[in-house]
Structure 1
């Protein structure tokens, strides 16, 4: 289930999510969000609503020390805070002493990070990413609209619509949020960007 999409211009991170809640052959439209603002982070999740609720309501991350590389911070301080949050909330799974959880995207400092179910931190070489069952369709859509004179929110809406059309685990309504420095908001209608 799910499609989370994100893109950045190096300063703002725009993130979108669908509203599907799937369980086997059952599907519902969820009122609760798949994107949360957590301090300076914008987090969009797939895998489990419980995981997303823990991230959105129970995650506390220490500030990044001045001079610490952003990727190093994400791989260490951020991931350790996520692991502790999941353990406290009873979500972390262990198999042969190996911990695992779920997948989610994080917007931070104008960048997009993908946290895998083994807590690895990835950053796409292009300025967009997606996760969830509609991921590949959404990535294809974002690729074809790159460089077009189109507002980022429109690109994300098109990517989500394509995922909903071709993935049975994705459905509207779609939500789009923006992280601009310390402020999460809807993407504004400023000048059209190449993002």
Structure 2
């Protein structure tokens, strides 16, 4: 189901909130679902989805543009609920699957972004940014927002902090390890660390 996607790193939670507020301001339904990348205590992403009107697509998501907010929090469940409250307050969710779950469920591919588990023909491309200026958000919305004639099924802004912010000492060591165990860079369809050659 998901086809080409654009992935850029949000600088902070305010950037994610701004994207969700944009969706609310333009009468896009907000779907608050589980997931994100929990590399620090709280992380998340927002995706603009335009899913086809097909039987396997949930009815409230068919043939319309929706903002899909994904959040994770690795900490006390009550604190996670408190942190999720401002996102829920942005609009009436059409789907709300945020809740406590075991790590084994979070680690499953289908649970992370509620992606389909069956193989699909798709192309994905992403880029890591050190910042997310307003101009980049404007361009993202021009290409994938409500006024775009985009063929994309999903366009996403994802916060990639925490473990991806490698220190100057750690990054060369990670490249050395990658060079030893994966010199051909076979495992590169991720947040790639190029092998040291």
- The TM-score normalised by the length of structure 2 is 0.29
Greater gyration radius: 2
Q: Which has the higher helix share?
A: 2
- The TM-score normalised by the length of structure 1 is 0.29
Q: Which has the higher strand share?
A: 1
